[in-house]
Amino acid sequence: MKTRAAVAFAAGKPLEIVEVDLEGPKAGEVLIEIKATGICHTDDFTLSGADPEGLFPSILGHEGAGVVVDVGPGVTSLKKGDHVIPLYTPECRECYSCRSGKTNLCTAIRATQGQGLMPDGTSRFSFEGKPIFHYMGCSTFSNYTVLPEIAVAKIDASAAFDKVCYVGCGVTTGIGAVINTAKVEIGSTAVVFGLGGIGLNVIQGLRIAGADMIIGVDINNAKKEWGERFGMTHFVNPTEIDGDVVPYIVNMTKRRGDLIGGADYTFDCTGNTTVMRQALECSHRGWGKSVVIGVAGAGKEISTRPFQLVTGRTWMGTAFGGAKGRTDVPKIVDWYLDGKIEIDPMITHTLRLEDINKGFDMMHSGESIRSVVVY
């Protein structure tokens, strides 16, 4: 079949809207009509050429929602008409990693997904007879796409596609980092560095988890109001304080009877390795946990004095918020439908596919929190 798609033909170039060829689903695969897709910072990272694993030409996009329109042989858990969210982190429930119960990083299709291919080692997309790579196993910047059954979460059919597509990455990553990775308890103090599409979801996750003090840190003052809207209690702009941000926050988080200070939990949502170090070092001696969510540029390394860890801080990271896609994504959609979490105000712009490059421009200028393309 033919489908409209925004194709990344080369790094650093705008996406081009063209008609591509799409082969139907093979065994264990499903064909999905994408109804809406968010534009995440990670798409931009790959498009910019900074991603060492980026492949071109490819169809980017990994934050979609849509409807199953066809299923390949052997598919049992999905049928035509199901409303779904594609998963860049699949959940096969059978591989060694899935069975461990300790991680969401399923390995069933890891190798081919990283090569921009379907599990049988080929691509379903082509343009003028030449194959186009899949991206993060999702390629939601195409109106129709093919995914393995194990990489598709079935969701409540009453959820609006142009809102819950955000659960496909940003919402789940931010909230999951708090609940699954850090396991924040009621009454905690927490610091979130970077109040973009991910950081704001960390903030709402902290609010749900019952954190007392939620400090947001951003170099853009416009983010103060955004943070407050989702539960942030204090704002710090590191460029406007005297001295270094670490002692400043350590001092801020001193509680009654505590002579040291430091936050129980800190989160990096910037991808900046200097910020990652700051986040670790303003976590509390003895028990502070610092979670890396941001994706750093190629070749970047993190460093700190080992004493920071010897004295009880834990440095950890999370992909897709530690969420097991087929199990957790439908639950997060239900939380949204039940009013436990907010999504609508974070979707600041809705675009047509033809205007998708404007979405990237607004991300760069800091104008948008999330732009969503509606097909």
Ligand X SMILES: NC(=O)c1ccc[n+]([C@@H]2O[C@H](COP(=O)([O-])OP(=O)(O)OC[C@H]3O[C@@H](n4cnc5c(N)ncnc54)[C@H](O)[C@@H]3O)[C@@H](O)[C@H]2O)c1
- Amino acid (one-letter) located at 255: R
CA-based R_g, the chain, Å: 21
- Separation CA 154–CA 157 (nearest Å): 9
Phi and psi angles of residue 345, each rounded to the nearest 5 degrees, phi first:
-65, -20
Tell whether residue 283 is a contact of ligand X (CB under 6 A): no
| By the rule CB under 6 A, 322 interacts with ligand X | no
Binders of Zn ion: how many residues, by CB under 5 A? 8
The secondary structure of 276-313, three-state, reads HHHHHHCECCCCCEEEECCCCCCCCCCCCCCHHHHCCC
Task: Choose among ligand X, Zn ion, none what residue 280 binds, the Cβ cut-off being 5 to 8 Å by kind.
Answer: none
Cis amide bond preceding 90, omega within 30: no
If binding is defined by CB under 5 A, does position 98 make contact with Zn ion?
A: yes
| Subset of 101-130 contacting Zn ion (CB under 5 A) | 106, 108
**Exposed / middle / buried, residue 15 (Cβ in 10 Å: 0-12, 13-18, 19+):** buried
Q: Are 163 and 62 in contact (CB under 8 A)?
A: no
179 lies in the binding site for ligand X (CB under 6 A): no
Given ligand X, Zn ion, none, residue 313, with its beta carbon under 5 to 8 Å by kind, binds: none
CA 79/CA 69 separation, integer angstroms:
8
- Is residue 324 involved in binding ligand X (CB under 6 A)? no
Report, in Å, the least distance between residue 61 CB and ligand X: 13
Binding partner of residue 106 among ligand X, Zn ion, none, CB cut-off 5 to 8 Å per kind? Zn ion
Q: Which of 66, 86, 168, 197 binds ligand X (CB under 6 A)?
A: 197
Supply the minimum distance, in Å, between the C-beta of residue 44 and ligand X: 8
Question: What letters, b where the CB count within 10 A reaches 16 and e where it falls short, cover 226-235?
Answer: bbeebbbbbb
Q: Compare residues 31 and 50 and give the one whose CB is closer to ligand X.
A: 50
> Which residue is closest to ligand X by CB?
196
The distance of closest approach from Cβ of residue 140 to ligand X in the complex, given in angstroms and rounded to an integer, is: 14
Q: Which residue numbers are catalytic?
A: 40-42, 62-63, 92, 95, 98, 106, 110, 169, 370
60 binds ligand X (CB under 6 A): no
Asked if 189 and 255 count as a contact pair (C-beta separation under 8 A), the reply is yes
Given Zn ion, ligand X, none, residue 196, with its beta carbon under 5 to 8 Å by kind, binds ligand X
What are the residues binding ligand X (CB under 6 A)? 40-42, 45, 169, 173, 193-199, 217-220, 223, 238, 269-272, 275, 293-295, 318-320
